[in-house]
Amino acid sequence: MIKVEFHNREKELKRLMKIAEFEPHTIYFIFGPINSGKTALIQEFIRRLGKDYVVFYVNLRGKFITDYQDFTRILFKFEKRKREEILKEILKTTTRFLSTRGIPVSEGTIDLILAKRKTEDVFEFIEDYISDIAKEKRPIFILDELQVIKDIEIDGKLIYKLFNLFVRLTKELHICHVFCLTSDSLFVERIYSEAMLQGRADYMLVDDFDYETTVGFLRKYSFDDEEIDLAWNYFGGKPVYLIKAIENKDTLEEFCEDSLEIRCGQILDGLYKLKKRDEKTFKLVLDLFETIKEDGVKYKSLNDALEWCIDKNILFANPIKRVVKPQSKLEYLAIKKVLDDLS
Ligand SMILES: Nc1ncnc2c1ncn2[C@@H]1O[C@H](COP(=O)(O)OP(=O)(O)OP(=O)(O)O)[C@@H](O)[C@H]1O
Ligand SMILES: [Mg+2]
């Protein structure tokens, strides 16, 4: 079996390690185009952490959260052991401690937590719990796919309460690093302009591989210059597409053309549906397609056309630089081809 090894990202890893070494003082939002390797990067970061660190990684992808109980079941991992035993394991381990299923707590705590009908109380519980760990170790809390809970209301907007907890853990108490990952740029845009996070959050872009990184990656799988050119010209540095290119190396040209055709079909399908529903936005999307450049274009504020393209993962908006660009090279090629087809 051919296994794809984690590749490069040394610059990003160095930055993450630096952040981890420093006292927590801000929430970090890790954002980037879809499938750019955010989750893979954070996993590698966790692997490299030393024994002082205690990591709680929670991935909200695919999680169905409608109420308070759903949310607590995701945040916590209920164990048969007593609180003291759990804490002992966390503090005494000789490698970094990692829980990928939420914060481990004893089963005896279930009732206590669920009885706390208010999210604020649960967050107080987490604060106390993390404070205890922080006396001896360095806790890191990572929430992947944060946008899953962007609109959830549990006696008020859940996300704001969560942000309050994160501000408390970082800026106020300095006891826990907090990293939030998302590829939803409409959501990042919202967070970025959120008053309650001003000066309390930092942003780290994880983009697709650059050209050199892509070449290095493909060389590992014996791509020659011509094959590298072909893959780069169709897929740019998006890891997920490159992995598929490696898988289809023997029929690379055909695979590239098929991929483009499929992506064009998807975009056209979306456009026809949009046209039926909202002719005005449809026309604006086509205008936007005309003006979009591979490296992106500046935008001032989002409008319906931009939002539609972002929502359909055709374009990616970077609210910090205020640049909107195709999600990848494949999307760029598809946009231009769709315009040709429609003209
Ligand atoms: N640096 C890397 N080296 C090797 N493979 C990578 C690397 N980065 C990402 N990948 C692979 O590319 C695929 C997409 O990566 P990943 O899921 O981390 O992206 P993501 O940005 O988290 O995606 P999403 O937008 O869905 O959250 C995965 O299969 C992953 O293993
Ligand atoms: Mg991810």
Ligand 1 centroid to Cα of residue 212, in Å, is 18
Ligand 2 centroid to Cα of residue 38, in Å, is 5
Return the residue whose CA atom lies nearest to atom 15 of ligand 1. Answer: 37
42 exposed, middle or buried (CB, 10 Å; 0-12, 13-18, 19+)? Answer: buried
Ligand 1 lined by 34 (C-beta under 6 Å): yes
Report pLDDT for 32.
96
Query: Quick one: which atom of ligand 1 is closest to the CA of 40?
Result: 18
SS (HEC) of the chain:
CCCCCCCCCHHHHHHHHHHHHCCCCCEEEEECCCCCCHHHHHHHHHHHCCCCEEEEEEECCCCCCCCHHHHHHHHEEEECCCHHHHHHHHHHCCCCEEECCCEEEECHHHHHHHHCCCHHHHHHHHHHHHHHHHCCCEEEEEEECHHHHCCCECCCEHHHHHHHHHHHHHHHCCCCEEEEEECCHHHHHHHHCCHHHCCCEEEEECCCCCHHHHHHHHHCCCCCHHHHHHHHHHHCCCHHHHHHHHHCHHHHHHHHHHHHHHHHHHHHHHHHHHHHHCHHHHHHHHHHHHHCCCCCEECCCCCHHHHHHHHCCCEEEECCCCEEEECCHHHHHHHHHHHHHHC
Give the domain 10-205 fold. Rossmann fold (3.40.50)
Give the domain 211-342 fold. Arc Repressor Mutant, subunit A (1.10.10)
> Where do the structural domains in the chain lie, given as residue ranges?
10-205, 211-342
pLDDT in tens, 228-264: 999 999 999 999 999 999 999 999 999 999 999 999 9
Query: Quick one: which atom of ligand 1 is closest to the CA of 33?
Result: 25
- Which stretches of the chain drop beneath a pLDDT of 70? 116-119
pTM above 0.75, yes or no: yes
Report pLDDT for 116.
61
Report pLDDT for 68.
77
Rounded Cα distance between 317 and 306, Å, is 9
Report pLDDT for 202.
96
